[in-house]
Amino acid sequence: MTTVADIVKTMQSKFNAGAAAGLDLVFQFNIEDGENHYLVVKDGTCELQQGDAANANVTLIMNTETLKGITSGETDGMQAFMGGKLRAEGDMMLAMKLGELFPV
């Protein structure tokens, strides 16, 4: 079984540093059936941390299956959001930026 850490590491490997130039953002992933992680995107770098960020710009709430589907490209993030499988708190526009930062 794929763990949340494995899925987020896969995301990190797809990181598009060019799209992150000049950014300073924290993406929190709250996983309902697994452990929470967050990504710190700063000036073209991406750092993965386990747990909860104190200062997340946007928090995405979903289950492991939804996260796996979105990161693999099998699930469209917008469809997951519209279908209630993905919730976002904070700056909603930043959630849209994830597609540029982590292309599938």
Q: Which domains does the chain have, with CATH numbers?
A: 4-99 (3.30.1050.10)
Mean pLDDT of 74-83: 93
How much is the pLDDT for 11? 87
Write the burial class of residue 21 (CB in 10 Å: 0-12 exposed, 13-18 middle, 19+ buried).
exposed
Q: pLDDT digits over 13-67, tens only? A: 899 999 999 999 999 999 999 999 999 999 999 999 999 999 999 999 999 999 9
* Cβ atoms of 86 and 55 closer than 8 Å: no
Per this entry, what is the length of the chain? Answer: 104
How much is the pLDDT for 95? 87
- Residue 58 belongs to what H/E stretch? strand 58-62
The structure tokens 């700063």 sit at 42
In this predicted structure, the answer to whether residue 75 has a pLDDT above a threshold of 90 is: yes
How much is the pLDDT for 9? 84
How much is the pLDDT for 4? 87
Distance CA 95, CA 24 (A): 14
